[in-house]
């Protein structure tokens, strides 16, 4: 499929572009692939034809492919786990039930090792985060051309299939965790206790402006680092798959070498996608444990 593009750069840009839906203002000039110009007579909600249009759509634009795959994978996770719950038996587990019990036990051990308080929300949240992020990361193992090519046959210009390579998705996840951290920090310590934790440590109380600045930066850095760590690792992995895919347009010798590289990187990438899901889950547990603890 790489041979269909004018240059390697065009191929890479195409595979890194999301299918974006948003509003273009009245008077906006749209350029199609044939160089024709269309001037919109009124504000129009539409799918972006290129990266420039996606940028001009502004804050309220939505990446349809990221939403389709992230929500779809979440529903898939819920379906199989609810199916296992309905079919659960008291005997020796097998098949799906055995896998679900193994995953639940693994998550339970991780929570017990990192969370020292009692909160019925933490374990289900950790389970959801781990499997949901893992499934989104797992999409990176599908050959980069298969689904975009199938979508192009239906007239869809872009189709990015790995939700965790979209910073909107990773920041959406991390900000949800951040709001939970703030909620439990205030709930467990009270507004005054939470403020005192930010303002009166690690330096003496009379240096509270410095303390507030340092602790505030540290607090805000949590969701940013959580989102960028997942996004950066998955984006880099996707980029490597795209670069390997370029080899298939360089003759049979390069195609054979690219196939071997693709297989080797996919095997190694299984470790990466699992590790990133585990790190995201573990940091969530640790942040919630910190939100429950009081500093004296």
Report the pLDDT value the prediction gives residue 31, as an integer from 0 to 100: 80
Please spell the DSSP secondary structure of 97-126, one letter per residue.
Answer: HHHHHHHHHHHHHHHHHH--S--TTHHHHH
Contacts of 149 (CB under 8 A, 6+ apart): 1
In the sheet where 62-63 sits, what is the strand order?
44-47, 20-24, 62-63
Q: 41-50, pLDDT tens digit by residue? A: 999 999 999 8
Q: 239 falls in which pLDDT band (50, 70, 90)?
A: very high
Report the pLDDT value the prediction gives residue 202, as an integer from 0 to 100: 81
The neighbouring-strand residues paired with 39 are: 29
Measured CA distances, 180 to 80, 122, 256, 286, 287 (Å): 27, 10, 49, 12, 9
Q: 20-37, pLDDT tens digit by residue? A: 999 999 999 998 767 788
What is the rounded distance in angstroms from the CA atom of residue 106 to the CA atom of residue 112? 10
Could you tell me which of 56, 52, 49 has the C-alpha nearest to residue 34? 49
Q: 120-160, pLDDT tens digit by residue? A: 999 999 999 999 999 999 999 999 999 999 999 999 999 99
At residue 223, φ and ψ (nearest 5 deg) are: -70, -30
Q: Catalytic amino acids?
A: 225, 229, 233
Q: Does 3 score more than 80 pLDDT?
A: no
CB 90 within 8 A of CB 184: no
Q: In this structure, what token pair is assigned to residue 285?
A: 């547990």
Q: 150-208, pLDDT tens digit by residue? A: 999 999 999 999 999 999 999 999 999 999 999 999 999 999 999 998 998 888 888 98
Q: Does 4 score more than 80 pLDDT?
A: no
């Amino acid at each position: 499929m790489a041979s269909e593009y004018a240059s390697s750069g065009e191929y890479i840009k195409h595979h890194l572009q999301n299918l974006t839906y948003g509003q273009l203002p009245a008077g906006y000039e749209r350029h199609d692939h044939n160089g024709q110009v269309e001037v919109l007579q009124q504000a129009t909600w539409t799918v972006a034809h290129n990266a420039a249009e996606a940028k001009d759509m502004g804050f309220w634009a939505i990446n349809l492919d990221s939403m389709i795959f992230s929500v779809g994978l979440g529903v898939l996770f819920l379906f199989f786990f609810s199916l296992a719950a309905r079919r659960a038996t008291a005997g020796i587990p097998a098949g799906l039930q055995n896998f679900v019990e193994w995953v639940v036990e693994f998550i339970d051990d991780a929570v017990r090792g990192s969370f020292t308080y009692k909160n019925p929300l933490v374990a289900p949240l950790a389970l959801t985060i781990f499997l949901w992020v893992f499934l989104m990361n797992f999409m990176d193992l599908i050959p980069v051309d298969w689904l975009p090519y199938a979508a192009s046959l239906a007239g869809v210009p872009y189709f990015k299939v790995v939700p965790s390579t979209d910073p909107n998705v990773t920041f959406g996840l991390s900000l949800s965790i951040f709001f939970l951290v703030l909620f439990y920090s205030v709930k467990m310590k009270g507004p005054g206790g939470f403020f005192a934790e930010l303002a009166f440590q690690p330096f003496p109380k009379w240096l509270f402006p410095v303390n507030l600045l340092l602790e505030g930066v540290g607090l805000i850095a949590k969701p940013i680092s959580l989102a960028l760590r997942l996004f950066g690792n998955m984006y880099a992995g996707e980029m490597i798959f795209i670069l390997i895919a370029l080899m298939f347009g360089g003759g049979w010798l390069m195609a054979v070498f690219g196939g071997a590289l693709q297989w080797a990187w996919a095997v190694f990438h299984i470790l990466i996608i699992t590790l990133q899901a585990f790190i995201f889950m573990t940091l969530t547990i640790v942040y919630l444990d910190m939100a429950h603890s009081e500093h004296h």
